[in-house]
Structure 1
Amino acid sequence: MTTSVFLAVLIAAALHAGWNVLVRVNLDRLLAVTLIQIGSGVLALAGLAFVPVPAFAAWPWITLSALMHIGYNVYLARAYRIGDLGQVYPIARGAAPLLVTLVSALWPGEPLTLGEVTGVLVLVGGIVTMAFVGGRHGAARIDRRSVGCALMTSCFIAAYTLSDGVGARANGDALSYTLWLFAVNGLVMGGVLWKLRGRHALATLGGYWRVGLGGGAMSLLAYGIAIWAMSRAPIALVAALRESSVLFALLMATLWLKEPLGRGRLMAAAMIFVGIAVMRLN
């Protein structure tokens, strides 16, 4: 992974944590997640006139990714409704790179070196440790429902990550793939919300359009960078490095949401830093 790709993915991680904090503040979780998706979809629609239509080979992956994003958004919203950002977010994001690393070694056939695998494992270990030393009730009182929803979220993350990594390569144009993907996702999630909550739920989102566009811009840029990076570096490495967003989420949760920051979380953060360093050196 080149230095430019490495730094770009770290920026994407910070942006990703930012829109997740917006989801956690003052809104019904499903409404908030859908608001971000619609916001990013609107911004993507505005850019479609400036990019080509994706190649035929990319459309199955766009379709699969859109379906996986439905599950991701629904389970993420459920997890945030039950648990703390500081616990839900690390679990949801931490298990995904392990799944991507295991699967990508077979498909699309990108086995990592021993040093790279070590870096991924240390980083993921720090992420998972962070999840289980904080939370609303501390390490001894972990809400099984929120953990279950977070783990389901991670499965959907792994699925759409692999789909989009392969899809962007098949398309040969990461920007075109990203904008069309987000445009489709925005439409699909708007339809899902209508089905689950009715027409009035969509009308409710109108009062939060600024949050939607702001969070949507962060989401679009964050994942757009990740898709671009996956077209230039092993998907598993990008997926793992992207989850350094947990560090940014920890900082935001501490400063803005007043969630506790203890010695355990600081030690977990140090593990994540070490994992990032090992990945970079290999």
Structure 2
Amino acid sequence: MTPLIVAAVLTAALTHAAWNAIAHGIKDQVLAFTLVGGGGALVALAMAPFAPLPHGRAWPYLVASVLIHLAYQYLLMQSFRLGEFGQVYPIARGIAPLAVTVLAAVFVGERPGPWQTAGVLVASTGLGGVALWGMRGRRPNWPALAAAVGTGLTIASYTVVDGVGVRDSGTPLGYIAWLLIGQGLVIPAFALAARRGELLAQLRPVALRGLLGGVLSIGAYGLVLWAQTRAPLAPVAALRETSIIAGAAIGTLFFKERFGRPRIVAAVIVVTGIGLMLHAG
């Protein structure tokens, strides 16, 4: 984990929190993800002619990743529709580092050492604190929590699949271009079929915000894929999840959700856990 890789993943974390906040802020989630996915696909279509085609052995991973990303987008839409951004976002992102560590050990042979294991456990504790603080004094919103947990598991799945696929592709730029083309056109096609003549009028008021979210989503995941070609999957995944701190702050500043001292303490715990994992690298 060189300083350049750390800087790239931290930038991806902030950018990821920003595009998720944009998507959450558009109340009609079908419109939000039509614009995010469509915007990302348009940029990817422009990039694809200038990038080499991924090697043949990477295409099964690309197809699997497209399917997992579609499940991820559906679950993310449901979690945003049902719950508060400052709660469901940390849960969804917080499950991923622990799950990635397990999946990478089982399927990729990247087995964590003692420092990395301790870092994952400490970071997961802090992530849980960030999420659970929002539940204090109220009944759990079980549908929102279930959608957020499912989102986190799909994040872990596509992280490992893409980590292997992008290494086999020979071209991180080409891999992300074709990944975003594959997944980015599905929700817009569904929205067009379901809403027909009404879609353009519904998109117009939120078009700029949504398309900006699509561009940010490409930048965020492109940086992560590049980092995964140069560092083990688990530390990259853990460092990327510093986005939950940005997400909780965005929830407070823009959506008037509570932050409070417990979330500050939890954020410090997360940073401590990530420091342990980076020490391992």
Equivalence map 1:139-150=2 (5 Å): 140-150=138-148
2-side partners of 1:243 and 1:170: how far apart? Answer: 25
5+ long unaligned stretches in structure 1: none
2-side partners of 1:260 and 1:101: how far apart? Answer: 31
Contact 1:38 1:216 (8 Å CA) reproduced: yes
Residue by residue, what CA displacement relative to the aligned partner does 1:70-118 show, whole Å, maximum 9, x if unpaired? 1111111111111101110011111122111111112111011110121
68 and 39 in structure 1: CA distance in 2 versus 1, 3 angstrom threshold: same
2 and 71 in structure 1: CA distance in 2 versus 1, 3 angstrom threshold: same
67 and 194 in structure 1: CA distance in 2 versus 1, 3 angstrom threshold: farther
1-side partners of 2:186 and 2:168: how far apart? Answer: 23
Residue by residue, what CA displacement relative to the aligned partner does 1:136-189 show, whole Å, maximum 9, x if unpaired? xx3542201100011111111111111111110110211111111111111223
202 and 124 in structure 1: CA distance in 2 versus 1, 3 angstrom threshold: farther
Q: 1:170 aligns with which of 159, 168, 171?
A: 168
- Report what 1:78 is aligned to: 78
Letter in 1 for 2:151: T
| Identity fraction in percent | 41
- Report what 2:275 is aligned to: 277
- Report what 2:60 is aligned to: 60
2-side partners of 1:269 and 1:42: how far apart? Answer: 36
- Report what 2:213 is aligned to: 215
Q: How far 1:201 moved relative to its partner?
A: 6.3
Contact 1:104 1:235 (8 Å CA) reproduced: yes
Contact 1:30 1:78 (8 Å CA) reproduced: no
1-side partners of 2:197 and 2:236: how far apart? Answer: 39
5+ long unaligned stretches in structure 2: none
2-side partners of 1:29 and 1:267: how far apart? Answer: 32
After the TM superposition, which of the residue ranges 270-279 and 218-227 deviates more from structure 2?
270-279
Q: Give the secondary-structure state (helix, strand or coil) at the position aligned to 2:19.
A: helix
Equivalence map 1:7-46=2 (5 Å): 7-46=7-46
Aligned Cα RMSD in Å?
A: 1.6
Q: How many residues align?
A: 279
After the TM superposition, which of the residue ranges 198-207 and 69-78 deviates more from structure 2?
198-207
Contact 2:126 2:267 (8 Å CA) reproduced: yes
After the TM superposition, which of the residue ranges 254-263 and 207-216 deviates more from structure 2?
207-216
- Report what 1:134 is aligned to: 134
- Report what 2:91 is aligned to: 91
211 and 50 in structure 1: CA distance in 2 versus 1, 3 angstrom threshold: same
234 and 182 in structure 1: CA distance in 2 versus 1, 3 angstrom threshold: same
Equivalence map 1:158-237=2 (5 Å): 158-194=156-192, 197-200=194-197, 202-203=199-200, 204-237=202-235
Q: Give the secondary-structure state (helix, strand or coil) at the position aligned to 1:106.
A: helix
Letter in 2 for 1:54: P
Q: Give the secondary-structure state (helix, strand or coil) at the position aligned to 2:110.
A: coil
Contact 1:58 1:171 (8 Å CA) reproduced: yes
181 and 50 in structure 1: CA distance in 2 versus 1, 3 angstrom threshold: same
1-side partners of 2:138 and 2:112: how far apart? Answer: 35
1-side partners of 2:15 and 2:69: how far apart? Answer: 18
Q: How far 1:199 moved relative to its partner?
A: 2.7
1-side partners of 2:144 and 2:41: how far apart? Answer: 28
1-side partners of 2:159 and 2:20: how far apart? Answer: 17
- Report what 1:252 is aligned to: 250
